[in-house]
Each structure stands twice: as structure tokens, then as C-alpha cells.
Amino acid sequence: MAFGLVSHLAAFAAYMLLVALLIISWRKGGLGAWLLIACGLTALWAATVSHAEWSSQSTLWPWLMEGVRTSGWLVFMASVLAVHAGSQSDASSPRLLLPIIAAFCVVLVGTDIVRAVVGQSVLTAGFALFVRLIGAVIGLALVENLYRNTPNERRWSVKYLCFAIGGMFAFDLFIYADAMLFRRLDANLLDARGATSALLTPLIAISASRNPQWSLDVFVSRRVVFHSTTLIAAGLYLLLMAAAGFYLREFGGGWGSVLQITFLFASVIMLAVILTSGRVRSHLAVLLNKHFFQYKYDYRVEWLRFIETISAYDRVRNLHARAIQAVADVVDSPEGGLWLASENGDFRLEREWNRRIDPLIVERQDGPLASFFKLRQWVLNLEDLARGERPPEGLELPQWLARLDWAWLVLPLMHRGRLLGFIVLSRPRAARSLNWEDYDLLRMLSQQVASYLREQESEKALLSARQFESFNRRFAFVVHDIKNLVSQLSLLATNADKHADNPAFQKDMVDTVRDSVEKMNSLLLRLHKGTDPATLDSVDLVDLLNEMQQRYSHAEPRPVLDLHQNHVLVTASKDQLFTVLSHLLDNAIAAADKTGSVILRLTADDETAVIDVEDDGEGMDAGFVRDQLFQPFRSTKSGGYGIGAYESRQIIGELGGRLDVISKPGEGTTMRINIPLQRSAEQQPSVAKVV
């Protein structure tokens, strides 16, 4: 396959890809339309030449399409120059530029049409070469005027366009100047023109992305440029190594083939080492960012990488280590440390990343560095200070920081005006200079890191508060139960004066004290573990209520027992039910007063056992029952804790039952406990066994 065919096919593919990119990003109108037309005409010209190379036929169509292609680029350049010149107050009027260029394009294309009609002749061929030579000169003049008339601060947006179009017209100028001099066209130059045109497409795409006023929204990814540049450099390296290997084989004598194989193997290994080197990749990234892009950073990529790093779940690296890495990756720093404010306000080393740092390094809260950050909130570049630059006003470098020979940048972590700490980063793998863009990005990321650290600090404080709240809640319940035990022991002590000589009372007193000790030990265990150690078992409510009546036999008024069954079994904790009934009976006895009555009633149906604790006291209205009775830490009693009713309802609810209140002012109160009956063996759900 001829090189000219491959060369122009590559140009066709490159410009068709560029055309597709421009069509996708075109927002109608503007200079983007002319650029799209010029690229499309170039792709059509490359296709025409490729067809001619493939068919090996001599035709004037490639020449005609070349004139059309050149005209398209001349009109585009004239349009760009007219827009740029029209925006300058001291520039001459650009109104005549486009008509002049359009007239020349008519002459350029008309020459080839005349050649096609009249036929080939020395006169027409010579005139056609001359017109093309003039077109190349005009194109170079347009490029030079565009670059010269663009202000210095805006040349970054057109310089790659000038390189691309200028290179295209310079190559044409060389071809036709050579043809005019030697009276023949160099076939090698013509074959290479397709490949050289294809190489210009990335520069055109970059220029389109830098000029949104062309009504184009073209994005050239830094990653694509980086990998493309790496691929091209690797290809050139392999070509040079292949040439060197060919030389060794040809001139190495008997050892030539062995030397060639060994050399090529070593070259491939060396290429792999170079491509995986962090330092080399860092140097290449700095080079591309400096010379190919308006901004040094692709902010979308940087932000996504930052979020991915700092929010990743990693058992080895906690949030502090990920925070250092997330900021260090931006400037390619390989190591660093994080200092955070301690309980006394001083800043201590919290985490180190890839470097051993003395943990005793402390920056006092009123130290020079902390005071400067609270005042200025700047990113410190210690390398600039080491070169003798004047330090910022108010900065006095602490001695411990001056002794860190690896330190490069110090970033304050500010959150809502509060200094949470700072990050110290080491020098990057490849030397780099920082500008306003670096400092702005670092300041923004450090503030984001500070917000993450503050959020973690708040979560820890909230968790601690919840732990204290849980402990206080358990303690309040335990105190309430102790209060009930104290009431029972107080009642026992009061009745001891009257019935001390009664053997039955003495036995009841010993049983009560023993039971109170067991309950106190159980409460202490509950407070320590944070859970109720009681286990569920089969409880006969008839026996439990008889025990409750006996326990309150000396109360005034004494509870009256009303039983309608001989045995009522439920699955519950006897201690918990005892606590609930003790609370309800205490409240009922207090509400009924000594002249009133308290009834302890038990009924049951097929599924539920019902325990009523009824008194004839003053009663409660519906609003109090709804809004206050079961609210924790609210009590109408002097010295009450306000958690008895709340705890009682919680216990009954955990057993699958409910606690209801039937009360009206002046008619007394009935506290009704509903508990599911214990299921018999026949009622237990069956479980199928898989054999």
C-alpha cells in the first residue's frame, strides 16, 4: 500500500473525527460554522486524494478539492481576524478583509475549473502553482496578523490555532515554492501532506475549546492529552530503539543478531520502567498543564478524585490519613502530616502519612503559626521562604517547622472562622512552581477537609452525648426502682413499731429485706451492663397477685384481691411484672388515701390476661392522660421522677401487651394491663424439618 494513500486516509479519519466533535459541540452560528466547514472540506479533500491514490488515475479532482480546502481555511482565518480586529478600538476596519479573501478564493477555485475545461498546459499549470503559492502566502499573512493583533493576555486562546493553520500554509508554501523552482512537484512532499495535516487536528481542537465565543463547547480532556502524548513518546522511543537495533545487526558482525535482540529487550524493559515512574509521569503532567491548557487543573477530575479518596472506606487509612492524601495528590506530594487541636487547644500531631514524624511536635494555640493562620488563612510555601522571599506580614516561622527539612507547604484547616488544625506536605516528585490557581485550589480543598473533620468531631460528640443519655436514662429508671424499694422498706420500718413482736411480721420482714437486696443487686447489674438481665419465663399471675397483696398487707388502704381464675400463665419476667404492679399499686394507694379502696382484679379470656389496678381517688382528665401521664421525666408528685408510668408501658409493650388508662375526674382510675396468655405445646407453631 502506497504511503500517500495511508497518509491521506489518516488525514481523512482525523478530520472526520474532528468534524464529529465540532458538530456535537456546535451551538449554532458564530465562527464555529466556518471552522466546521473548513474541517469538513479538508476531510473531503483527503478522501478525494485517497481515492485517486487507490485508483492510480490522474485527475484534476484532487487539485480542485485542494483549492476548495484552502479557500475554506482562508475564509475561516479572515473571519477570526475580522472578529478580533473589530474588537480592538485602534485596529483598522475589517470590513474589506472578507470580500478580498472571497475574491481570491474565487480566483483560486476558478483556476482549477479553467484547467479542467481548457485542459492541461504549461501556462495553466504554472499559473495554478503561482496562485497556490500566493494562497499560502496570504494564509501565513492572516496567521501572522491574527497573532500580532491579539493582546498578550489573550494569545493563549489562538496560539495553537496559529501553529496549526500556519503549519499547514507553511508546508504548502514549501511545496509550491519547490515546484516553481524545479518545475515539478515533489511526490514525497505531496504524499506526506496528509500525515502532516492529520497531526494538526489536536491543536485545532484545543483552540476550539479555548474560544467559547466561536459558539463551540469543545472539551479536550487532560487525561486524553496525557495518554496520547505518552503513547506518541513511547512510539518515537521504540522507533529510535528499532533503528539502533537495526544498526547493531548490520554492523555488529557475528554478534549482530544477538546484540539486536538483547538491545531491543532492554529497551522494552527500560520503557516499562519509565512509563511506570511516578517522577516521569509527574514531569510530563507538569509540562502538559503548563503548555497546553488555559488552567492547570481539570477541576472535574480533581474534585472527583478528592471525593473518592476522602470518602473511601479503608480499614488501614482512617479519615485523617485520607484527608492528607486527598490534598497531597493535587500537588503530587508523596507524604505529609496532620496536626489537630487537642483538648487544651494546642495543635498536636494527629496523623502521619508515608513519613515518620516526631509525635512530640506541638504548636501552641497562641503560637506564631497558629496566630498567623487565624489572622491570614493563607497557604504557606516554605520553599519560597527558603529562597529568601519576604515572609508574609505577621508570620514568624516556628522553630519546629524550620527544622523540618522535608516540609514544603502548610495548609490551614479553617471551618467557620475556627482553626481546626493544619496539614504539612513534603516536596513533590517533580519540581513545580505554584501560582494563584494552585493556592486557590489548595485553599478550597483544605476548607473542605476541615468540614469533613469537623463533621467527624461532631459525630463523636453526638455519640458520646448519646452514650451519656443512655446511661442517664438507665440510671433514672434504676433510681425510680430504688425509690419503690425504699418505700417498701420505709413502710416496713413504720409497721415494725406496732408488730415487732409478731412472729408472722418478723418472717415477712426478713423476706422483704432479702427480696429488696436481690432487687438492688439486679438493678446494679442492669445499670452496669445497660441491659435488663431478667429472662422470660412462665409466670402464674394468680400467684404473683397473691404475693403482691401479701407484700402490701400493711398498706392503708390494703389492696383487695378479686380473682376469677385459679391459674393464669403468661410468658414474662416476674421481676419486671413485679416492678410494674408495684408502681401501679403505689400510685393507687396514694390516690385513694387511707379512707379509700384499692382493688387488684384478674380476668382472662382465650388469648389475653387482664389485670386491673382500680382506685376510687380523684381521677384524671383525658388531656392529662394523653399529654403528660406517659411522658418521661414529668411528674405531679413532689420528689417524683416521672418515669414510672413510662417504664411500665415500655415493659408491658415489650411483652406484647398494652397498658390502658380508664379514668375520669371524680370517678377514680383503673390502670388495665393486657398480656397475651402463654401458648400450650399444641398451640406452638410447627416447624417443618427438611430431610
Quick: pLDDT tens for 235-249: 566 656 666 666 656
476: confidence class by pLDDT, cuts 50, 70, 90: low
Tens-digit pLDDT profile for residues 513-551 = 887 787 777 777 766 655 454 578 899 999 999 988 888
Whether 311 has a pLDDT exceeding 90, the answer reads no
Q: Are 401 and 382 in contact (CB under 8 A)?
A: yes
Question: Which one of 47-61, 70-84, 273-287, 474-488 scores highest in mean pLDDT?
Answer: 70-84
Whether 325 has a pLDDT exceeding 50, the answer reads yes
* pTM listed for this prediction: 0.41
Tell me the HSE value of 567 on the side-chain side, using a 13 A CA sphere.
Answer: 4
CA–CA dist 357, 598 (Å, integer)? 74
pLDDT at site 333? 92
pLDDT at site 182? 76
pLDDT at site 690? 31
602: confidence class by pLDDT, cuts 50, 70, 90: very high
Read off the amino acid at residue 216.
Answer: L
* H-helix or E-strand spanning residue 306: helix 299-310
For the chain, the maximum distance between any two Cα atoms, rounded to a whole number of angstroms, is 149
β-bridge pairing 608-615 and 669-676: antiparallel
CA–CA dist 339, 361 (Å, integer)? 9
Cα separation values, 98 from 95, 103, 335, Å = 7, 9, 58
Tens-digit pLDDT profile for residues 406-426 = 999 999 999 988 999 999 999
Nearest to 409 by CA among 430, 388, 434, 429: 434
Tens-digit pLDDT profile for residues 285-295 = 656 555 555 56
pLDDT at site 437? 83
Give me 281's grid cell.
Answer: 509521569
| Count of other CB atoms within 10 angstroms of residue 174 | 13
Q: Are 540 and 563 in contact (CB under 8 A)?
A: no
Q: What is the mean pLDDT of residues 371-385?
A: 88
Check residues 685 and 383 and name the one with the higher pLDDT: 383
Q: What is the mean pLDDT of residues 96-107?
A: 82
Nearest to 670 by CA among 587, 612, 585, 592: 612
Peptide bond into 557 cis (omega under 30): yes
Q: What is the mean pLDDT of residues 654-677?
A: 92
Q: What is the mean pLDDT of residues 664-668?
A: 89
Least confident of 6-15, 189-198, 248-257, 584-593: 248-257
Q: Any bridge partners for residue 337, and if so which? A: 352, 424
Tell me the HSE value of 103 on the side-chain side, using a 13 A CA sphere.
Answer: 5
Check residues 359 and 182 and name the one with the higher pLDDT: 359
| DSSP character string of 213-279 | GGSB-----HHHHHHHHHHHHHHHHHHHHHHHHHHHHHHSGGGHHHHHHHHHHHHHHHHHHHHT-HH
Least confident of 358-362, 478-482, 687-691: 687-691
Tell me what percent of the residues of the chain surpass a pLDDT of 70.
74
pLDDT at site 390? 77
